[in-house]
């Protein structure tokens, strides 16, 4: 079982150490973890000419070759998950392959969005919430946007969310391992 390890960890200064730790956990459970920066044969990427496009094409090649995907959906640079990770999750879901997700932030999306807006969110007369532009804020009690939580549920999995100390936000792998075990049991 080859599992693509989607997430914003690629931006960390010690990304390779975290990749090794995740691969080790996967191996302990009989799976092979594939990190986005792992080498992959991809002639289209080699011919791309632009670095960003080559990265995209290599990540897509990894996803197409993987049997499943686990996404780190810990909020990244805002109240929601990393946009690239969400794209990868949706891409794998569209391929009809198993997906799972985890987050090292247990707060629901509404609370995180309210905090991000710094008091700019307001409750309307009907009880729903809106941002300073008057745009509706999802308040379903989900971890993130309903398309993320819905995609995981429709795939037969759930998002594992844990509150961890801020200093461990990107390196605590207990929720990752729980999501991995759940994913493997669902197959």
Q: How far is CA 104 from CA 30, 36, 59, in A?
A: 24, 20, 23
Q: Nearest 5°: phi and psi at 176? A: -55, -50
Q: Please state, in angstroms and rounded to a whole number, the distance separating the CA atoms of residues 67 and 32.
A: 10
Q: What's the mean pLDDT in 1-21? A: 97
Q: What is the CATH number of domain 2-107+145-186?
A: 3.40.50.450
Q: Which residues are 103's β-sheet partners?
A: 161
96: left (phi over 0), alpha (psi -120 to 50) or beta: left
Confidence at residue 119, expressed as pLDDT on a 0 to 100 scale: 87
Q: Please state, in angstroms and rounded to a whole number, the distance separating the CA atoms of residues 150 and 99.
A: 11
Q: How far is CA 127 from CA 98, 138, 148, in A?
A: 36, 12, 24
- Number of Cβ within 10 Å of residue 154's Cβ equals 10
Confidence at residue 37, expressed as pLDDT on a 0 to 100 scale: 97
pTM: 0.95
Confidence at residue 158, expressed as pLDDT on a 0 to 100 scale: 83
Is pLDDT of 98 > 90? yes
Are residues 179 and 113 in contact, defined by beta-carbon separation less than 8 angstroms? no
Is 127 exposed, middle or buried (CB count within 10 Å of its CB: 0-12, 13-18, 19+)? exposed
Is pLDDT of 86 > 90? yes
Locate the domains of the chain by residue range.
2-107+145-186, 109-142
Per-residue pLDDT tens digits for 131-153: 999 999 999 999 999 999 999 99
Per-residue pLDDT tens digits for 160-187: 999 999 999 999 999 999 999 999 999 8
Q: How far is CA 132 from CA 10, 45, 112, 175, in A?
A: 33, 42, 15, 34
Residue 144, Cα to own-chain centre: how many angstroms?
11
Confidence at residue 70, expressed as pLDDT on a 0 to 100 scale: 98
Confidence at residue 187, expressed as pLDDT on a 0 to 100 scale: 87
Confidence at residue 132, expressed as pLDDT on a 0 to 100 scale: 95
């Amino acid at each position: 079982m080859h599992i693509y390890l989607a997430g914003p960890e690629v931006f960390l200064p010690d990304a390779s150490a975290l990749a090794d730790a995740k691969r080790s956990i996967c191996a302990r459970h009989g799976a092979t973890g594939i990190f986005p920066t792992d080498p992959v044969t991809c002639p289209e990427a080699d011919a791309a000419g632009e670095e960003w496009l080559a990265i995209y094409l290599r990540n897509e090649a990894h996803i197409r070759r993987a049997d499943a995907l686990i996404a780190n959906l810990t909020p990244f640079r805002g109240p929601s998950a990393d946009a690239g990770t969400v794209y990868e999750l949706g891409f794998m879901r569209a391929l009809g392959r198993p997906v799972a997700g985890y987050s090292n932030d247990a707060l629901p999306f509404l609370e995180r969005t309210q905090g991000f807006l710094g008091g700019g969110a307001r409750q309307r007369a009907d009880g729903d919430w809106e941002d300073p532009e008057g745009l509706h804020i999802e308040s379903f009690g989900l971890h993130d946007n309903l398309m993320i939580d819905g995609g995981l549920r429709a795939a037969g999995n759930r998002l594992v969310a844990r509150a961890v100390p801020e200093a461990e936000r990107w390196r605590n792998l207990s929720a990752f391992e729980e999501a991995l075990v759940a994913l493997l049991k669902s197959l």
